Chain A
């Protein structure tokens, strides 16, 4: 026979219909014979019922309209910046390649250095130039690659206009 202490913690879940069939049967049988647990069960159920029956005050239509408008504004703000960002990135890319080829070249050299040369160990400066020469950059710029002096040092790429 189950004791009150064993089943007390299940009373609320029993009322919620959240127990397994086997456990619900045990609690149900216990409630039939135990007045103390019936009172406990009724008290817990009354709390839930009180909150459910005392719904919060209704919201006037004008207040919902205000919330709805704010959401609409927010949705517009979310979508538009995404489009704007795309345009800005494209614009910056255009400017970068057209007006600042030196910077673009530096980035290209860095990529070559990092992904082609450095993984094979420190290479002579000529190796960098050999790789960089494969990139079509136009005749107006020179680049100087300085190897890092130590493992803690940086690879430096200077790009200089010759115009």
Chain B
């Protein structure tokens, strides 16, 4: 709250971008704080390991900072950033650098403390540590079976909560294409997860 009791207005992303372009590093730090967790969750759905996902977050924010001068204000910073994140994930997968989620995920989660392994959006979960790891592994495996196009749309919508329009803007496709890809992605995941006994 501000000193006069009125609610403090949050600086918009656009204002922060303008300040960052003027050389104010604190403004870009604020953007990093705002979006690092979202970027991580999106990256995690592509890569399936914490380590790779954090590497992508790091690389994506560095790319964003270096490319800020080329950022066109027609799009929102968030959609622009998420496009960088998804492209960085896809590049990593194509280069084969990402660890295989199906082989490393379980070990990674087993090594976590119980507190670390809890999903951070919820205070409590019914899943115990091992079940949580197995579930994440199954979800990653299922996503691995989608095409890049379907996986990208599904992750941006489900994990990042982007609207069809935002996804369309971010990827340069029509909203109708977004709707179609999302439908087919869900149908495929439903079948895979049902066969795996998860659904």
Contact B36 A50 (CB under 8 A): no
Residues of A contacting B186 in the complex (Cβ-Cβ under 8 angstroms): 12, 44, 47-48
Q: Known contacts being A56-B119, A67-B54, is A47 close to B190, with CB within 8 Å?
A: yes
In whole angstroms, what is the CA distance A66 to B61 when docked?
13
Residues of A contacting B32 in the complex (Cβ-Cβ under 8 angstroms): 68, 71
Contact B116 A67 (CB under 8 A): no
Confirm or deny: A124 has a beta carbon within 8 angstroms of a beta carbon on chain B: no
In whole angstroms, what is the CA distance A16 to B161 when docked?
10
Residues of B contacting A68 in the complex (Cβ-Cβ under 8 angstroms): 32
Contact B136 A74 (CB under 8 A): no
Give B157-199 interface residues, CB cut-off 8 Å to A: 157-159, 163-164, 175, 179-180, 182-183, 186-187, 189-190, 193, 198-199
**Which residue, of B117, B118, B179, has the highest number of chain A Cβ atoms within 10 A?**
B179
Contact digits for B85-127, partner A, Cβ 8 Å, 1 yes 0 no: 0000000000000000000000011001000111111100000
Residues of A contacting B18 in the complex (Cβ-Cβ under 8 angstroms): none
Count of chain B residues near A, Cβ 8 A: 51
B160 nearest CB across to chain A (Å): 11
Give B35-51 interface residues, CB cut-off 8 Å to A: 36-37, 40-41, 44-45, 50
Number of A-B contacts (CB under 8 A): 113
Give A43-62 interface residues, CB cut-off 8 Å to B: 43-44, 46-48, 50-60
For the residues of B in contact with A, the DSSP-based class is: helix
Q: Is the interface on chain A under 10, 10 to 19, 20 to 34, or 35 or more residues?
A: 20 to 34
In whole angstroms, what is the CA distance A57 to B40 when docked?
10
Residues of B contacting A67 in the complex (Cβ-Cβ under 8 angstroms): 36, 54, 57-58, 61
In whole angstroms, what is the CA distance A57 to B190 when docked?
23
In whole angstroms, what is the CA distance A74 to B57 when docked?
13
Residues of A contacting B45 in the complex (Cβ-Cβ under 8 angstroms): 51, 56
Contact B139 A51 (CB under 8 A): yes
Contact B119 A57 (CB under 8 A): yes
Contact A57 B163 (CB under 8 A): no
Residues of A contacting B193 in the complex (Cβ-Cβ under 8 angstroms): 47, 50
Confirm or deny: A144 has a beta carbon within 8 angstroms of a beta carbon on chain B: no
Contact B158 A52 (CB under 8 A): yes
Query: Which residue on chain B has the smallest CB distance to residue A13?
Result: B179
Contact A56 B44 (CB under 8 A): yes
A60: contacting residue among B108, B116, B119, CB under 8 A: B116
Confirm or deny: A79 has a beta carbon within 8 angstroms of a beta carbon on chain B: yes
Residues of B contacting A43 in the complex (Cβ-Cβ under 8 angstroms): 190, 199
Query: Which residue on chain B has the smallest CB distance to residue A52?
Result: B158
Contact digits for B129-150, partner A, Cβ 8 Å, 1 yes 0 no: 0001001100100000000000
Q: Which 9 A-B pairs have the closest CB atoms?
A: A55-B119, A56-B44, A58-B120, A55-B121, A74-B62, A67-B58, A12-B183, A44-B186, A47-B186
Q: List 20 A-B contacts (CB under 8 A).
A: A13-B164, A16-B157, A18-B179, A47-B190, A47-B199, A50-B139, A50-B198, A51-B139, A51-B158, A53-B122, A55-B122, A56-B41, A57-B112, A57-B116, A58-B116, A60-B116, A67-B36, A67-B57, A74-B62, A79-B23
